[in-house]
Amino acid sequence: MYVYTPFQSFTPEQEKKLRESTSTSTCYENFLTDEEFAFCRKLVMNTKKWPEQGRVAKYWGFNFESGPGPLLTFLKDKITEILPRWKPDFLAFQEAIEPWKLHADIRWYSDKIPYKVILIPMDVEPMSGPVDIDHWPETFTYSFKQRNFLSSWTEEERQRPVGDRNDMSTWSRPYDMSQVEDFVPGYHIPKEEYDANLNHMPYDWFEGVTLEQRHQWKPKSLFYWDNTQLHCADNFLGKGIRTKRSLMVYTILGD
């Protein structure tokens, strides 16, 4: 689910392209038509057998040529309108179990440059049970200004066991990771924001971290962030939400 290759770095030429391709995390409301949203949502909601299930999420990864991918090819032209340089890497349906902690989705490839991660909200279900799309409880995905370009590894990190990258109990807070850049020393996100939405991880996880965007989950919307970018879920369980379902599109940089 969380693709991770330990201790690899991009070549200087690749890293230059990776850095030059960064941009602000962006949301598009009403990206899908009513019909397109209903079609995608039905595919996600009808998924009962999940090929992967960890502690954090149920997950079904595929591409445009496999699984439900051929049914979603209409997304290609729509995505090209907002991200002309994108190429598809893979897609996924995801059903949340626990809220994701602060992390970057960065994946290392020898011959490809990771680009944007796209999230299209499909459903928000409160503890009381399913609700109509007009009554989704308020929930967010957060993006931050700090990024991980896999540009440096300390010797201590190279000696550390890799472990299960889907087990968040093994994760380090970003401030302690040598690859994450652009921290603001002495800064934390506002305590009010943390208490309201982000208290599923210790407050010191936000040391030096600055908020870029807070994207609310709304029907028909789409938002994306850089593959290198720190991001996380809100504490949806603490807000009375049982699960959140989404369609994800992972992209690589085109020529």
Q: Distances from the Cα of 169 to the Cαs of 36, 56, 248, in angstroms?
A: 37, 11, 24
Q: Which two tokens stand for residue 75?
A: 């997304």
pLDDT digits (tens), the chain, 255 positions? 344 455 688 999 999 999 999 999 999 999 999 999 999 999 999 999 999 998 899 999 999 999 999 999 999 999 999 999 999 999 999 999 999 999 999 989 999 999 999 999 999 999 999 999 999 999 999 999 999 998 876 666 655 655 455 678 888 899 998 889 999 999 999 999 999 999 999 999 999 999 999 999 999 999 999 999 999 999 999 999 999 999 999 999 997
Q: What are the structural domain ranges in the chain? A: 12-253
The predicted pLDDT at position 2 comes to 40
Tell the burial category of 77 from Cβ atoms under 10 Å away from its Cβ (0-12, 13-18, 19+).
exposed
User: Would the pTM of this model clear 0.85, i.e. be above it?
Assistant: yes
Q: Which two tokens stand for residue 126?
A: 């409160």
Spatial distance between the Cα atoms of 99 and 225, rounded to a whole number of angstroms? 17
The predicted pLDDT at position 9 comes to 86
Length of the chain: 255
The predicted pLDDT at position 160 comes to 60
Q: Do 211 and 20 meet the contact criterion of CB atoms below 8 Å apart?
A: no
The predicted pLDDT at position 152 comes to 75
Spatial distance between the Cα atoms of 172 and 102, rounded to a whole number of angstroms? 9
Contacts of 21 (CB under 8 A, 6+ apart): 85, 113, 115, 226, 253
The CATH code for residues 12-253 is: 2.60.120
The strands making up 52-53's β-sheet, listed across from edge to edge, are 26-28, 222-226, 114-126, 241-253, 86-96, 57-62, 52-53
The predicted pLDDT at position 168 comes to 84
The predicted pLDDT at position 3 comes to 45
Pairing of strands 114-126, 241-253: antiparallel
* DSSP labels, the chain: -----TT----HHHHHHHHHT----EEETT-S-HHHHHHHHHHHHT----SEE-SSEEEEEE-TTSTTGGGGTTHHHHHHHH-TTEEEEEEEEEEESS---SB------SS--EEEEEEEEEEEEETT----GGGPPP-EEEEEEEEE------HHHHHS----TT-GGGPPPGGG-TTEE---TT----HHHIIIIITTS-GGGGTT--EEEEEEP-TT-EEEEETTEEEEE--TGGGTEEEEEEEEEEEEE--
Greatest C-alpha distance within the chain = 53
Spatial distance between the Cα atoms of 45 and 140, rounded to a whole number of angstroms? 20
